[in-house]
A and B are shown apart, each in its own frame.
With several copies, the nearest count.
Chain A
Amino acid sequence: MPELTLVDAVNLALARALADDPDVVVFGEDVGVNGGVFRVTAGLQKRFGVERVFDTPLSEALISGLCVGMAAQGLRPVGEIQFMGFLYPCIDQLVNHASRLRNRTQGRLSCPMVLRTPHGAGIRAPEHHSEATEAMLAHIPGLRVVIPSAPERAYGLLLAAIRDPDPVVFLEPTRIYRAVKGEVEDNGEAMPLDVAFVIREGRDVTLVSWGAMVKDTLEAADELAGDGIDAEVIDLATLKPYDEQTIVNSVAKTGRCVIVHEAARTGGFGAEIAALVAERALLSLLAPVARVTGYDTVIPLPRLERQYIPSVARVVAAARKTCKFPD
């Protein structure tokens, strides 16, 4: 199987979806001739034509609204927002329309759309290019929010998102767009949405993460192994609706839980996981639930972005403290 970057895996999934289903259309700013500012859509316009892969005007609210109109007609629109910092004008369409069209019409119309956007910091990009505000989206009923942490899951989850009968926001962690490679077979197989992946089994502590932070969390688990701490690592992958049971089961086993995300702490999606554990796994808990997150500050410009993003060392320290508790 070929080793692909996450960028290539997404490209492959898009190509596959376009090839398999004439209802799939891909659009956004610079996705056509230019192939996307991250080259995610490279070659697609040439292969599938300008009506299926096209550049929109510079209008994010429009991009999300177009998706709704197309999806209501049974197309499978895949819109791209160039960076998550430019997704905010889409929230109106996501909350007020995309996530509701099925419910509002009691199934008469539906909204099988995907809105893709790069996610997170760590690539020394300019202001507004490092956002990680998945928690805002994961609060929206009727929506799905998916974020892969590796090329193989990017491929399978994106195919699932495109085939899903309901709206999906698909977040692509820029920090690992090219920093990781994985074996991806172009087999057209979708992976399940709303399932969390236990990507490392362990007995001592449950580490829950998603997106680019999964890589760091795995590194932390390696480092913890050196201390004799056997960490279980869960890649949440789908944040909305999310797989509560896998987390509860894991914490029931380990008794300890550390949640790792890049977004600001207060009201981040880590709060939801911690709340779940406090509700459904309290009696298993041997230590307080810990959150290792970005600070409650504006994500800084590149000079300080590495200080903002949780480091492996911070994850390790939190896990150690959790495992040593109540020392």
Chain B
Amino acid sequence: MVPPEAAVGQDTRADQDLPVIAEFAVRRRAYMAPDGTLLRDLPEFAGDRESVVSMYRGMMLARAFDLKAVALQRTGRLGTYATSLGQEAVAVGVASAMQPADVLLPSYRDNAALLWRGVTMEDILLFWGGDERGSNWSGPKQDFPFCIPVGSQAPHAAGVAYAFKYRQQARVAVCILGDGATSKGDVAEAMNFAGVWKLPVVFLVNNNQWAISVPLERQTAAQTLAQKAIAAGFCGEQVDGNDIFAVHAAAETAIAAARAGKGPSLIEAVTYRLGDHTTADDASRYRPAEEVKEHWKEDPIARLRGYLISRENWSKAEEEQIAAECEQRVDAAIDRYLAAAPRAAESMFDHLYARLPSVYAAQRKEAEEQKNA
């Protein structure tokens, strides 16, 4: 964790006699210490026990879902899967700050955010099970599907936000990116454009400190990722990404500002990827077990639980009930996922264009016949 008082980034090389023409500061937001004790006054929404508990439930559900999804993958019933283990506060913190009519542009790791937004677990599984139908969800109709080419959804977010602004809709686009994604040129281009047009978009960086095996210090020399916004002329803030109050509060502020026409923001949520990159990865090849163990101490779920226990009379019974409920919901969804109808080969032509050009009819027929052969 960055020591809260250290002001880094000062240019030691510049001629100190030269006049300063622009100054920038990156601030850091945190409310809870790793044990759930408070560092400062909580934001207003934290006063509502029910909403805090629902965030807790959202994180628990994501974790239960991740666990079972990995088990499905290990037993050959799901494709490559990326968990949000340890990063649940990021996805849930931001998703819970959005309104239904806002649009989410997620990365492949943001299952937890989709769940919160109302995408069903069976749809998510269907996608990771290798079936396009999973992205034709019944949940938030205008949300984007998982983006796999890292960072490439950032320009879409700018486009969506432009549409909102153009139509004078009080809606906000929220784009979730990884720390690795901040190195992509398209992300820089999108942020720069969003700055020029003061678009209603929030870029949320899940800084889990690894991009597969590449640690943050090989990714960038920037002391914070929040400062990437300075290049685009708007503000960036760092938050403790394991503190759901901090993530939610920062997201709420940024989304409200965007909605009010005050332009884009960047939020860097510093957390840690407690699991492998995906089920196709073996992180023990490139990072020591001790490092991971250290970071378990900052687990966002344990932290919120600590808070609930000490501040909200959280009972064992409540705890167990939520766990059981999550388990049960996931199991039921898995059953539905496994029962999904097979997909016909020729269906790969069905949404290629709004109407299939006649020239491809023969190919479609070939695919159909091949299946029957």
Contacts and interface: CB of A to CB of B under 8 A. Distances in A.
Q: Do the two chains bind?
A: yes
Interface of A: 25, 29-30, 32-35, 37, 51-52, 55-59, 61-62, 64-75, 77, 85-86, 89, 92-93, 96-97, 102-110, 124-129, 141-142, 164-166, 194, 241-245, 265, 295-298, 300-305, 307-308, 311, 313-314
Contact of A57 (B157, B196, B345, B350): B196
The list of the 3 closest CB pairs from A to B, nearest first, reads: A69-B159, A65-B155, A302-B130
B151 A62 contact: no
Given A62-B189, A70-B159, A104 B135 contact: yes
Contacts of A57: 180, 183, 189, 192-193, 196, 214, 218-220
Given A69-B163, A108-B137, A301-B131, A30 B145 contact: no
A194 B193 contact: no
B324 interface: no
B148 interface: yes
A29 B145 contact: no
Nearest to A59: B189
Given A65-B158, A85-B149, A127-B148, 4 more contacts: A57-B183, A57-B218, A58-B184, A107-B351
A142 B353 contact: yes
30 contacts: A34-B212, A34-B285, A37-B280, A55-B214, A57-B193, A62-B185, A62-B186, A64-B155, A65-B159, A70-B163, A71-B159, A72-B159, A85-B148, A85-B149, A92-B186, A93-B152, A97-B152, A102-B352, A105-B145, A106-B350, A106-B351, A109-B144, A126-B128, A245-B359, A295-B366, A295-B367, A297-B352, A300-B132, A308-B348, A313-B370
Contacts of A295: 348-349, 360, 363, 366-367
B360 to A, nearest CB: 6
Contacts of B79: 124-126, 301-302
A59 B219 CA distance: 9
B142 interface: yes
Nearest to B149: A96
Interface residues of B, number: 80
A69 B143 CA distance: 11
Contacts of B280: 37
Contacts of A166: 353-354
A66 B184 contact: no
Interface string B331-360: 000000000001101011111111001111
Contacts of A108: 135-137, 141
A34 B284 CA distance: 9
Contacts of B129: 302-303
Given A102-B352, A295-B363, A58 B219 contact: yes
B213 interface: yes
Contacts, number: 242
A230 B53 CA distance: 72
A234 B299 CA distance: 57
B160 A72 contact: yes
Interface string B62-101: 0000000000000000011000000000000000000000
A92 B163 contact: no
A30 B185 contact: no
B280 to A, nearest CB: 7
A77 B167 CA distance: 14
A307 B159 contact: no
Interface in B222-254: none
Given A59-B189, A301-B130, A311-B370, A126 B183 contact: no
B186 A61 contact: yes
Given A57-B192, A125-B80, A303-B131, A65 B363 contact: no
B211 A58 contact: yes
B136 A107 contact: yes
B29 interface: no
A194 B349 CA distance: 17
B373 interface: yes
B160 A241 contact: no
B123 to A, nearest CB: 11
Contacts of A303: 129-131, 342-343
A241 B166 CA distance: 32
Interface in B166-190: 166, 173, 180-181, 183-186, 189-190
B348 A34 contact: no
B154 interface: yes
B349 A297 contact: yes
Interface string B257-268: 000000000000
A244 to B, nearest CB: 5
A259 to B, nearest CB: 16
A103 B352 contact: yes
Q: Which of B136, B148, B180, B219 has the most CB of A within 10 A?
A: B148
A65 B348 contact: no
Contacts of B343: 303-304
A207 B142 CA distance: 46
B329 interface: no
A1 B162 CA distance: 38
